[in-house]
Amino acid sequence: MKAIRVAEFGDPGVLKVVEVPTPFPGPGQVLVRLHAIGVNPVETYIRSGNYARKPELPYTPGSDGAGVIDAVGAGVNTFKPGERVYTAGTVTGSYAEFTVCNVGQVFHLPGSVSFAQGAAVGIPYATAYRALFQRGQAQPGETVLVHGASGGVGIAAVQLARAHGLRVFGTASTEKGRLLVLNEGAQHVFDHKQHKYFEKMFEANGRRGVDLILEMLAHVNLAMDLSFLAPRGRVVVIGSRGKIEIEPRDLMSRDTDIRGMVLFNTPPVEMAQIHAALGTGLADGTLRPVIDQEFPLARAPYAHGALMDGGAAGKIVIIP
Ligand code: NAP
């Protein structure tokens, strides 16, 4: 089979297509023939060598994908060949034509959801769900700011929050991204590259602030976020690429919280709850992953480049 292999950490050019033996599933595992592969920012950080968790070289990147069960290992009775699935974690990496997963890493994909959409679920929707409900304790009637709403996690958060009865504010830097955020359910959308957009958001919410902020770029926004929270508001830090200085009194004066999260830390029981909720939302059409760009496997370096260039309007996927 064809797969991406990374033999050294570095720029996107280290993502090379090679021919490797097709893996086979061991006990408790399944082999998935992938029809689409989700590309996530963490894979660019790992590839560059600047991430805390480094795989042994060489490795095949990726955890998200969607396709069809090709074979099952001993003891597997929850899946059979031919069933449509999405993956949220793999054993052998998802940037490939086939991937081996433990049974707990695959979930049924409804027939109404395309493979490209299925590849957009694993990390983005699970992260959005955990940030909103398990870490952020979002309640119907509250107002949430999805700070970076046009990308993979952001669109998922907008759809989930709207379905749960929240009032949703979102941000994006392009007209295309902002339109998408509005279409997916936000009541108000702002440009996070525009001067004084925080002032406009304040006005839009009667100068009350918001109850919850899902933050995609904390090293840029956290200080301002804290001054924008309503009493007992929460910021969930999902993404950050550096340091920032904050005013702790902003937390004290309104009893607010900063809560961090990394999806990998999710306990298995809570992860199972997340995918149960996502499965229901995908099946009934509440959750509709949006695809921005598709790249063939050989152009994986361009997929990484496009992800880091910004200007998101949904999800970037690779079609093997
Ligand atoms: P993505 O698809 O590339 O989207 C990135 C989003 O961030 C876009 O909406 C982008 O908007 C927005 N953004 C860019 N500059 C911003 C700014 N100054 N203020 C607010 N938003 C800004 O990435 P993703 O998959 O949604 O992931 C988003 C972030 O979460 C990344 O940093 C990623 O590493 C992190 N993440 C963390 C976890 C976790 O477990 N903690 C899991 C998944 C992702 P424009 O493109 O319009 O500027």
Residues written for the chain: 320
What mean pLDDT value characterizes the chain?
Answer: 97
Does the pLDDT of residue 320 top 90, yes or no? yes
Judging by beta carbons within 10 Å of its beta carbon (0-12, 13-18, 19+), is residue 173 exposed, middle or buried? Answer: middle
Q: How far is CA 130 from CA 90, 138, 188, in A?
A: 20, 10, 23
Give the model confidence (pLDDT) of 112-144 as tens digits.
999 999 999 999 999 999 999 999 999 999 999
Q: How far is CA 73 from CA 20, 63, 81, 109, 115, in A?
A: 20, 19, 11, 20, 23
Across 260-267, average pLDDT: 97
Give the model confidence (pLDDT) of 276-297 as tens digits.
999 999 999 999 999 999 999 9
CA-closest residue to ligand 1 atom 14: 148
Show the domains of the chain with their CATH numbers.
2-121+289-319 (3.90.180.10), 124-263 (3.40.50.720)
Give the model confidence (pLDDT) of 95-104 as tens digits.
999 999 999 9
Question: Of 272, 295, 275, which Cα lies nearest the Cα of 110?
Answer: 275
Ligand 1 pocket, 123 CB below 6 A? yes
Give the model confidence (pLDDT) of 163-204 as tens digits.
999 999 999 999 999 999 999 999 999 999 999 999 999 999
Ligand 1 pocket, 238 CB below 6 A? yes
Query: What is the Cα–Cα distance from 296 to 7, expressed in whole angstroms?
Result: 20
The counts of H helices and E strands in the chain are 10, 15
Helix ranges restricted to H, the chain: 41-48, 115-118, 122-129, 152-163, 175-183, 197-204, 218-227, 248-254, 268-284, 300-309
Ligand 1 pocket, 174 CB below 6 A? yes
Query: What is the Cα–Cα distance from 231 to 211, expressed in whole angstroms?
Result: 7
Q: How confident is the model at residue 32 (pLDDT cuts 50, 70, 90)?
A: very high
Across 11-35, average pLDDT: 98
Query: What is the Cα–Cα distance from 242 to 48, expressed in whole angstroms?
Result: 16
Taking the centre of ligand 1 as the mean of its atom positions, its distance from the CA of residue 304, in whole angstroms, is 14
Q: Are 212 and 225 in contact (CB under 8 A)?
A: no
Ligand 1 pocket, 145 CB below 6 A? no
Across 209-219, average pLDDT: 97
Does the pLDDT of residue 205 top 90, yes or no? no
Taking the centre of ligand 1 as the mean of its atom positions, its distance from the CA of residue 209, in whole angstroms, is 22
Does the pLDDT of residue 230 top 90, yes or no? yes
Place of tokens 């597997």: 76
Query: How high is the pLDDT of residue 129?
Result: 98
Query: What is the Cα–Cα distance from 203 to 167, expressed in whole angstroms?
Result: 15
Ligand 1 pocket, 128 CB below 6 A? no
Does the pLDDT of residue 53 top 90, yes or no? no
Phi, psi (rounded to 5 degrees) for 303: -60, -45
Judging by beta carbons within 10 Å of its beta carbon (0-12, 13-18, 19+), is residue 201 exposed, middle or buried? Answer: buried
Question: What is the CA 233 to chain-centroid distance, rounded?
Answer: 23
Query: How high is the pLDDT of residue 136?
Result: 98
